[in-house]
């Protein structure tokens, strides 16, 4: 058992890293239900949200099992405050316009696909199972974002300038995807986690190729924005959680 | 204990999928195992098609109801993720049943992903994907350029 050789607290937090990314991005995409630019896209974004929610449920359930303190997926999703969430800053960024939604999807899905393809070989069998299943889903999430990126980047003057603005806004958040942290590094050494730094070249090649097809340039590197993994979030997460957690907190343990 | 010679597997295998009722759980390839212990308790293992498949709770309830109705007591149902479901796990009759219901089936295992699907209404190959995403996680929306009819496609997942 992997938990014999690594601290359970490390494994629990790592499962929350991955699960919180899925949960928060799922909620962001779900906000667009009935607000997407066309009907087919409404269905598409809802489908993507659903896949991510399913992955989040498996990962949060596992975090609760590893923690062994009686918290289930609901307690972890609806009972934590913003400082206790470990998601990347990228996934909590708002849907300012459709270009922001698509660029965020392109950055995250390309990252998640590279991550899951490595995690499929994790020594931790639960993480490996979630990743093997999730990789099939991340693969078409990536394709969906890639097609839109090319269509909008290589589209009209208006769509191109909106895509450039979105890339400029979101690019500084991508550095956090590949930052090593002590918890992840200990789990990498144990053959459980994927090394974030090793994902960057795979990700970068994908983004470069898509940007080239879309006629989009890279923004000037202005340093990276990070803090999500250690619970230091942008102001946007609190607002997201207040909406996502409102019902559960107002009516604890309510059921249909 | 159940009456007659109907085994627990056969009962569960015949339960229709909640979202694709033309297929049984066995046809869909999501039924992994049915174990009955000496005391008659049943453990059913299913796998989801997609991580977030919202039909999982309905499957659980339908399987439970079918087994309880057949006289089994102490029925437990679990979902396992590995190995991940693919459309190559569809049962031998699944493609036929889907096509008959107007849903274009995915290709056979080992075949490349088709660029064009046969319209389930008129048989034309002049069809196009309208959206890779449909009313359920497992389906895409297509349209036939010959007869104009839209149709669903159980999309290839490998």
Q: Classify A26 as helix, strand or coil.
A: helix
Q: Which of A85, A105, A133 is nearest to A44 (CA)?
A: A105
The domain boundary, picked from B47, B79, B111, lies at B79
CA of A125 vs chain B CAs: smallest distance (Å): 9
Q: Does residue B1 have a pLDDT over 70?
A: no
> How much is the average pLDDT of B133-141?
91
Give residue-wise pLDDT tens across range B24-45: 999 999 999 999 999 999 999 9
CA of B26 vs chain A CAs: smallest distance (Å): 20
CB-nearest partner of B50 from A54, A130, A143: A54
Give residue-wise pLDDT tens across range A7-28: 999 999 999 999 999 999 999 9
Q: Does B54 touch chain A (CB under 8 A)?
A: yes
Residues B135, B143: Cα–Cα separation, whole Å: 15
| A142 neighbourhood in chain B, CB within 8 Å | none
Q: Classify B115 as helix, strand or coil.
A: coil
Is B53 in Cβ contact with A130 (below 8 Å)? Answer: no
Q: What is the pLDDT of residue B135?
A: 87
Residue A217 tokens read as 């340039």
Q: What is the pLDDT of residue B156?
A: 92
Q: Testing the interface with A: which of B46, B81, B140, B153 to mutate, by most A Cβ within 10 A?
A: B81
> How much is the average pLDDT of A210-239?
94
In a domain, B35, yes or no: yes
Q: Which of A227, A220, A244 is nearest to A25 (CA)?
A: A244
Q: Which of B109, B18, B80 is nearest to B55 (CA)?
A: B18
Q: Is the peptide bond before A87 cis (omega within 30 degrees of 0)?
A: no
CB-nearest partner of B82 from A46, A52, A129: A129
Q: A128 and A121 in contact (C-beta within 8 Å)?
A: yes
**Do B19 and B70 reside in the same domain of the chain?**
yes
> How much is the average pLDDT of A205-218?
96
Q: What is the pLDDT of residue A14?
A: 98
Q: Does B53 touch chain A (CB under 8 A)?
A: yes
Give residue-wise pLDDT tens across range A59-69: 999 999 999 99
Q: B90 and B106 in contact (C-beta within 8 Å)?
A: yes
- What is the domain-level CATH number for residue A191? 1.20.1260.10
Q: A3 and A62 in contact (C-beta within 8 Å)?
A: no
CA torsion sign for B57, B63, B69, B75 is negative
Residues A241, A84: Cα–Cα separation, whole Å: 11
In a domain, A30, yes or no: yes
Is B52 in Cβ contact with A51 (below 8 Å)? Answer: yes
Residue A128 tokens read as 């490996």
Give contacts of A 128-167 with B, CB under 8 A: 128-130, 132-134, 136-137, 140, 143-144
Q: Which of B103, B143, B98, B100 is nearest to B124 (CA)?
A: B143
CA of A43 vs chain B CAs: smallest distance (Å): 6
In a domain, A255, yes or no: no
Q: Which residue of A has its CA nearest to B134?
A: A43
Give residue-wise pLDDT tens across range A108-128: 999 999 999 999 999 999 999
How many CB atoms are closer than 10 A to CB B104? 22
Is A128 in Cβ contact with B82 (below 8 Å)? Answer: yes
Q: Classify A69 as helix, strand or coil.
A: coil
**Do B106 and B140 reside in the same domain of the chain?**
yes
**Do B24 and B67 reside in the same domain of the chain?**
yes
In a domain, B147, yes or no: yes
In a domain, B34, yes or no: yes
Q: What is the pLDDT of residue A221?
A: 80
Q: Classify A100 as helix, strand or coil.
A: helix
Residue A238 tokens read as 């609190």
For the whole model, what pTM was predicted? 0.94
Is A43 in Cβ contact with B131 (below 8 Å)? Answer: yes
Range of the domain at A205: 2-250
Residue B145 tokens read as 């350029």
Residue with tokens 């923690």: A67
**Do B13 and B67 reside in the same domain of the chain?**
yes
Q: Does B128 touch chain A (CB under 8 A)?
A: no
Inter-axis angle of helices A98-119 and A125-153, to 10 degrees? 150
The domain boundary, picked from B46, B79, B112, lies at B79
Range of the domain at B59: 8-79
Is A130 in Cβ contact with B132 (below 8 Å)? Answer: no
Residues B51, B65: Cα–Cα separation, whole Å: 24
Residue A94 tokens read as 């708002």
Residues A70, A83: Cα–Cα separation, whole Å: 20
Domain count, chain A: 1
Q: What is the pLDDT of residue A253?
A: 80
Domain count, chain B: 2
Q: What is the pLDDT of residue A4?
A: 54
Give residue-wise pLDDT tens across range B53-109: 989 999 999 999 999 999 999 999 999 999 999 999 999 899 999 999 999 999 988
Angle at B69 between CA B63 and CA B74, to 5 degrees: 70
Is A130 in Cβ contact with B81 (below 8 Å)? Answer: yes
- What is the domain-level CATH number for residue B28? 3.30.300.130
| B134 neighbourhood in chain A, CB within 8 Å | 43, 47
Q: What is the pLDDT of residue B3?
A: 42
Residues A240, A246: Cα–Cα separation, whole Å: 10
Is A54 in Cβ contact with B82 (below 8 Å)? Answer: no
CB-nearest partner of B131 from A40, A48, A53: A40
In a domain, A231, yes or no: yes
How many CB atoms are closer than 10 A to CB A197? 13
| R_g (Cα) of chain B, nearest Å | 17
Q: Testing the interface with A: which of B84, B138, B142 to mutate, by most A Cβ within 10 A?
A: B84
Q: What is the pLDDT of residue A98?
A: 97
Q: Which residues contact A55 (CB under 8 A, 6 or more apart)?
A: A18, A19, A22, A130, A133, A134, A137, B51, B52
The continuous run of DSSP H or E covering A139 comes out as helix A125-153
The continuous run of DSSP H or E covering B42 comes out as strand B42-46
| A51 neighbourhood in chain B, CB within 8 Å | 50-52, 137
| R_g (Cα) of chain A, nearest Å | 18
Q: Is the peptide bond before B83 cis (omega within 30 degrees of 0)?
A: yes
The domain boundary, picked from B21, B48, B79, lies at B79
């Amino acid at each position: 058992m992997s938990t014999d050789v690594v601290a359970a607290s490390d494994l629990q937090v790592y499962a929350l890293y991955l699960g919180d990314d899925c949960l928060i991005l799922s909620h962001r995409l779900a906000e667009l239900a009935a607000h997407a630019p066309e009907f087919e896209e409404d269905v598409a974004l809802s489908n993507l949200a659903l896949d991510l929610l399913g992955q989040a449920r498996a990962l949060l359930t596992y975090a609760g099992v590893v923690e062994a303190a009686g918290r289930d997926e609901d307690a972890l999703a609806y009972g934590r405050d913003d400082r206790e969430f470990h998601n990347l800053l990228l996934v909590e960024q708002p849907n300012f316009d459709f270009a922001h939604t698509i660029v965020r999807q392109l950055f995250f899905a390309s990252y998640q696909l590279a991550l899951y393809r490595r995690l499929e070989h994790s020594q931790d069998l639960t993480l490996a199972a979630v990743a093997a299943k999730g990789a099939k889903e991340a693969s078409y999430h990536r394709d969906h974002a890639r097609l839109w990126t090319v269509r909008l980047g290589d589209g009209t003057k208006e769509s191109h300038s909106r895509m450039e603005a979105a890339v400029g806004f979101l690019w500084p958040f991508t550095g956090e995807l590949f930052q090593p942290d002590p918890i992840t590094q200990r789990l990498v050494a144990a053959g459980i986690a994927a090394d974030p730094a090793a994902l960057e070249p795979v990700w970068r090649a994908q983004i470069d190729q898509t940007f080239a097809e879309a006629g989009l340039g890279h923004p000037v590197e202005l340093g990276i924005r990070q803090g999500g993994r250690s619970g230091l979030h942008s102001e946007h997460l609190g607002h997201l959680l207040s909406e996502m957690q409102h019902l559960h907190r107002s009516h604890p343990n309510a059921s249909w | 204990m159940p009456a007659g010679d109907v085994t627990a597997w056969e009962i569960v295998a015949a339960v229709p999928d909640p979202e694709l009722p033309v297929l049984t759980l066995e046809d869909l390839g999501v039924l992994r195992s049915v174990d009955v212990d000496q005391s008659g308790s049943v453990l059913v293992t299913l796998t989801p098609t997609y991580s977030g498949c919202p039909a999982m709770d309905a499957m659980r309830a339908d399987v439970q109801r079918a087994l309880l109705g057949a006289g089994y007591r102490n029925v437990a149902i679990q979902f396992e993720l590995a190995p991940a479901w693919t459309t190559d796990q569809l049962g031998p009759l699944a493609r036929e049943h889907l096509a008959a219901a107007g849903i274009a089936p995915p290709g056979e295992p080992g075949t490349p992903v088709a660029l064009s699907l046969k319209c389930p209404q008129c048989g034309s190959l002049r069809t196009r994907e309208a959206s890779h995403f449909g009313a359920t996680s497992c389906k895409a929306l297509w349209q036939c350029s010959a007869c104009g009819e839209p149709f669903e496609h159980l999309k290839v997942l490998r």
